[in-house]
Amino acid sequence: MAWDFLKADTVPRLPKRSSVVAAMAVMGALTGLISCLPSPLPEFDLDEGGLILNAVGMPLHAGVTFAAGIALCLWLWVTRDLGKCLLALVLIFVGWLAALNTANDLYQVLIGSEVFGTALGAKANREVLGLIVGGVIGGAVGAGLTAFGTGIPVESLRRLENWSVVVLAGAVFGLMLYPAASLRQPALLYLPWQTMVAVSIAFALTGRKT
């Protein structure tokens, strides 16, 4: 039957690397685009005066769908242990929230600091710096926890060289927080960040076995 691969008792089979990378990239991009859509889930409100990516708050459903998408890929390709997949889902979502909180905290610390002094335009410069630093470090934190959660069923992600690639992808694409916040377009952050973190996981998933 064409849909036998969905049965819980079917032994999961990992496709070739190109297929896994393409599927994970599509999943990351779709969940990033979902951040622009209305959702019945509540918005995630940060502290007053913190990061604002849109007029209301953070689209919580973007993190839920991203975590669920990776968990589904793990269930299809790695293990049919539902407990491990659900635990990975929870940890990935926690990582997504940790990324936002870390970025927000760093942003507020820098805004309230005396960096650049009190000269004209100093506050605007602190805002830019806060978005850049918060995006990079928050992105790295979120990607690290995502890799940690995925590593529960995926042994290759427990190796430092693979885990660090995922963290690096999260840090680099965390830079997109600046244009996303400036334009109040969450998809400018979530689409590339979630896509590239998912792709980096795909490479680790299909890499050399030891």
**150-202: pLDDT as tens digits:** 999 998 898 999 999 999 999 999 999 999 888 888 888 989 999 999 999 99
Q: Which of 111-115, 122-126, 156-160 has the lowest mean pLDDT?
A: 111-115
Q: Which pLDDT score is estimated for 1?
A: 40
Q: Which pLDDT score is estimated for 168?
A: 97
Band the pLDDT of 4: cuts 50, 70, 90: very low
What percent of the chain lies above the pLDDT cut of 70?
83
Whether residue 39 contacts residue 204, with contact meaning beta carbons closer than 8 Å, is answered with no
Distance CA 13, CA 24 (A): 15
pLDDT tens digits along 71-91: 999 999 999 899 999 999 999
Exposure string (b/e) for 85-116, b if CB count within 10 Å is 16 or more? beebbebbbbbbbbbbbbbbbbbbebbeeeee
Q: What is the mean pLDDT of the chain?
A: 84
Predicted structure pTM score: 0.85
Distance CA 74, CA 195 (A): 16
